Structure 1
Amino acid sequence: MILYYVTALVIIALDQWTKYLTVQNIPLHETVEWIPGVLSFTHHRNPGAAWSILEGQMLFFYIVTVIVVGVVIYYLHTYGRKDKLFAWSMSFILGGAIGNFIDRLLHQEVVDMIRTEFIDFPIFNIADIALTVGVGLMIFYLILDEVRNYKQKKVGS
């Protein structure tokens, strides 16, 4: 179980480190090209959630994040012991949620920096990547779980 919490801590540390580097080295709204036409780093601040929805609603984000973190820890302890894929999903979601929560607590906005040049997509950060990976793993887990349940029902018939 400790491995999953260490994973979440590594995600939080990497997220906060990249945000620190961005704030210290790239002026706000400036872009540093990394892989031409593919990837760049742009110092951006997001006062909301994805695509700046619910901009400035910090109290809402505080409450939702505390609830999400509590639920994730509960599920990690109860169901994570039974399935590694589920536990990995929870650890990525936990790390991503806390990474962005730290920004909201300290700055009332989230520092974003990763920008895809080949597609018009919102600028994001390591915590956002972790959340996306965690949700993707959860979807994969749910599909596998449904297949397992279907096979068990079919064998039991």
Structure 2
Amino acid sequence: MFLYLSLLGAGVLIGLDQLIKWWAASYLSTVPDIRLIDGVLHLLYRENYGAAFSILQNRTGLLVGVTTAVLIAVLVLLVSRRVSHPLMIVSLCLIFAGGVGNLIDRVLRGFVVDYIYFVPINFPVFNLADCCVVSGTFLLVVYLLLIEPRQERRKKQLDR
């Protein structure tokens, strides 16, 4: 049941990501920026023809191929139930949602719509899908470094 709810959540995030990107392309692209918190958090429209931090510019085919392969692997892990820990399920669903959100952009538009700008550190403009991928990856690292080793130790103690 938890897996299905997590996948439903991923679907909601994909829909929300696409809705915000549609709004950004329709409205935000026509204005200089929207200052949510002046000097801190702005919304501004950008077209990213690469990956994170604009690497692999204009390599859409490569990015679509790699993203598709990763998404298939994540989906197989989830639906085969080879992953059972709730944190791992959530992390993979977040990565899946973000990957699909940006993949849709690359396939339909040829670029990814970015719109969130964190001003104080002049961070590259990003979007909700990017937040999902980063959050999911962070949770995956937490699981792999902190939780899985504990589970392995407990399993070894029980096997004795």
TM-score (norm 1): 0.92
Describe how 1:125-144 pairs up with structure 2 within 5 A.
125-143=127-145, 144=147
- Shift of the 23–51 alpha-carbon distance from structure 1 to 2, 3 Å rule, reads same
Q: Distance in 1 between matches of 2:87 and 2:149?
A: 14
Task: Please tell me whether the aligned partners of residues 11 and 95 of structure 1 are also in contact (alpha carbons under 8 angstroms).
Answer: yes
Counterpart in the other structure of 1:145: 148
Which residue of 2 is the match for residue 79 of structure 1? 82
The one-character-per-residue Cα deviations of 1:56-85 (angstroms, maximum 9, x if unpaired) are 1111111111111110011112333x2111
Post-superposition offset of 1:30: 2.4
Secondary structure of the equivalent of 1:11?
helix
Provide, for residues 109-138 of structure 1, a one-character-per-residue CA deviation record: whole Å limited to 9, x for no partner. Answer: 000000001112110000000001110110
Q: Choose 31-40 or 127-136, whichever is displaced more.
A: 31-40
Q: Is 1:5–2:19 an aligned residue pair?
A: no
Q: Mind listing any 5+ residue stretches in structure 1 that lack a counterpart?
A: none
- Partner Cα separation in structure 1 for residue 93 and residue 87 of structure 2: 10
- Asked if 2 retains the 8 angstrom alpha-carbon contact of 1:41 and 1:114, the reply is yes
* Matches of 2:158 and 2:31, distance apart in 1: 59
Q: Which residue matches 2:63?
A: 61
Say which SS state the counterpart of residue 43 (structure 1) adopts. strand
Provide structure 2 residue ranges, at least 5 long, that are not aligned to the other structure. Answer: none
Write out aligned runs for 1:40-119 (5 A).
Answer: 40-77=42-79, 78-80=81-83, 82-119=84-121
SS of aligned partner of 1:27: helix
Contact 1:28 1:44 in 2 (8 A): no
Please provide the CA RMSD for this pair.
1.7
1:14-25 pair list within 5 angstroms:
14-25=16-27
Task: Give me the whole-angstrom Cα distance separating, in 1, the residues matched to 2:57 and 2:22.
Answer: 22
Name the CA shift for 1:29/1:49 in 2 (closer, same or farther; >3 Å): farther
Q: Size of the alignment, in residue pairs?
A: 156
